[in-house]
């Protein structure tokens, strides 16, 4: 089996890699176990030294690694460089805070001393997606290694150069051998890795289907999982919103990563009294965006990561229009056979349409007009997903009230939904369970051990 690195902007095969054989995978897992025995004994100060060095490399070589991201999955180079630099921020955050997050927590009981101790588990498998190929992996890598675990990365098969680059960065940062390794394997080989008794836990960012499969295997093996799956984030615009700002962020939120983000705004729920004005502003801003070669400064957005993803999105749009959705801003593939997909806006989106029921993983905005705040909340919650969302109103207390009522893992008031090291990230319902980032994220893959001294 070979793994291909393909430039989605051109369709060119950049590089091919021989997949790891079963014996090579087994050897890597055994090497991880050996590395863990000594790594778990290191101090937080020692781990932080390597982690800060890693942050330095990411910052100094951001353009080099950003170019690899752009070539493999198509996002504009400026966005790829920003992604690499964001990874450095996560490394510094956990280097600075891990010792405090994982220090013994003293609990008052009738013992002479009682506490919760946070101890590493061992080898943790990370199954990561292609849309943010560095950031998704680093928000696992940084806390896992700082907690004293070792990491095994099974990255998406279309970003092998990104996966190997991260292994290279860890090595150059001075971490001991085999503390973090990449497994070049396909999805069919994942089950055997999870079943290996050396692997203690699994984290996955990906599709709902992939999450269900991984959770099933891990459940059978009685192993901890964290799942960050799809999202169909609501972007609620109330009648007292600042429409210029809301429309500006609406377009930015829908178009982040060419719409290929689990926390991109996807369902725009707008109160009818301001719907026409908002929609016109959104249409004007979205239609002004430029595409092209993602390696150039001029491109606001690039191609989708693969041609088949553009084909799937096109099918979702066509099915929604056939069921009554109205095209406000026309775009799509323009009959070509590439991975490029121009932005679109659909309105009159109703239940039963793919644009209403499914995640649209690309630059298509689905607009739903509602009577008032109560109906907006009802529509926002009428989704099997629950990852993120936003509400726009000039009354901050009202915004907070709505934010509490929308069923998601995160709600933003008058702001772009984003992930940041300081705040926990994850969803509910079919968007998964568990949390990444913040102190909650580093505590997902540790043994929270009760210790009681009589």
Residues with active-site annotation: 228, 262
**Alpha helices in 349-426, H assignment, sequence order:** 354-357, 373-381, 396-405
- The DSSP annotation for 170-212 comes to HHHTTPPTTSEEE----GGGHHHHHHSTTEEEEEEES-HHHHH
CA atoms of 253 and 261, how far apart (whole Å): 9
- Tokens matching residue 61: 């070589």
CA atoms of 125 and 123, how far apart (whole Å): 7
**CB neighbour list of residue 379: distance below 8 Å, 6 or more residues apart:** 234, 267, 269, 368, 370
CA atoms of 70 and 241, how far apart (whole Å): 36
The residue written with tokens 């996966």 in the block is 163
- The DSSP annotation for 6-50 comes to E-TTT--EEEEEEPPPHHHHHHHHHHHHHHHHHHTTS-HHHHHHH
Beta bridge partners of 93: none
CA atoms of 207 and 154, how far apart (whole Å): 15
Of residues 338, 406, 344, 343, the one with CA closest to residue 375: 406
| Count of other CB atoms within 10 angstroms of residue 46 | 13
CA-based R_g, the chain, Å: 22
SS3 content of the chain, % helix, strand, coil (to 5): 45, 20, 35
**Alpha helices in 232-328, H assignment, sequence order:** 243-255, 272-287, 307-322
**CB neighbour list of residue 351: distance below 8 Å, 6 or more residues apart:** 357, 382
Of residues 266, 232, 237, 253, the one with CA closest to residue 427: 232
- Tokens matching residue 181: 């390794």
């Amino acid at each position: 089996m070979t793994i291909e690195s393909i430039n989605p902007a051109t369709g060119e095969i950049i590089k091919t890699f021989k997949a790891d054989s079963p014996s090579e995978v087994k050897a890597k897992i055994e090497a991880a176990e050996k590395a863990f025995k000594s790594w778990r004994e290191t101090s937080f100060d020692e781990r932080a030294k390597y982690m800060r060095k890693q942050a330095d490399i990411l910052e100094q070589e951001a353009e080099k690694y950003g170019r690899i991201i752009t070539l493999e999955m198509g996002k504009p180079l400026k966005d790829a460089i920003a992604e690499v630099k964001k990874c450095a921020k996560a490394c510094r955050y956990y280097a600075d805070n891990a010792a405090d997050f994982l220090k013994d927590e003293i609990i008052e009981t009738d013992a002479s001393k009682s506490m919760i101790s946070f101890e590493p588990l061992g080898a943790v498998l990370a199954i990561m997606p292609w849309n943010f190929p560095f950031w998704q992996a680093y928000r696992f890598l940084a806390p896992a290694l700082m907690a004293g675990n070792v990491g095994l990365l099974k990255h998406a098969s279309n970003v092998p150069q990104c996966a190997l680059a991260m292994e290279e960065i860890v090595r150059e940062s001075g971490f001991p051998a085999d503390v973090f390794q990449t497994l070049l394997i396909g999805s069919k080989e994942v089950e055997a890795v999870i079943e290996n008794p050396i692997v203690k836990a699994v984290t996955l960012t990906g599709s709902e289907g992939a999450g269900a499969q991984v959770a099933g295997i891990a459940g059978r093996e009685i192993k901890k999982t964290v799942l960050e799956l799809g999202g169909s984030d609501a972007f609620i615009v109330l009648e007292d919103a600042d429409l210029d700002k809301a429309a500006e962020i609406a377009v930015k939120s829908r178009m982040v990563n060419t719409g290929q983000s689990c926390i991109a705004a996807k369902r725009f729920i707008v109160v009818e009294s301001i719907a026409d004005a908002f929609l016109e502003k959104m249409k004007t801003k979205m239609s002004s965006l430029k595409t092209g070669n993602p390696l150039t400064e001029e491109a606001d957005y690039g191609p989708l990561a693969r041609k088949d993803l553009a084909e799937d999105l096109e099918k979702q749009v066509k099915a929604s229009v056939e069921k009554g959705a109205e095209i406000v801003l026309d775009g799509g593939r323009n009959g070509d056979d590439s991975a490029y997909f121009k932005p679109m806006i659909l309105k009159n989106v109703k239940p039963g349409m793919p644009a209403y029921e499914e995640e649209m993983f690309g630059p298509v905005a689905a607009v739903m007009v509602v009577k008032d705040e109560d109906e907006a909340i009802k529509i926002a919650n009428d989704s099997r997903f629950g990852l993120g969302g936003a509400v726009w109103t000039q009354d901050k207390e009202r915004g907070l009230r709505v934010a509490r009522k929308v069923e998601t893992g995160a709600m933003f008031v008058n702001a772009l939904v984003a992930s940041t090291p300081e705040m926990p990230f994850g969803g509910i319902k079919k968007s998964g369970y568990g949390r990444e980032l913040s102190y909650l994220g580093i505590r997902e893959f540790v043994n929270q051990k009760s210790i009681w001294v009589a």
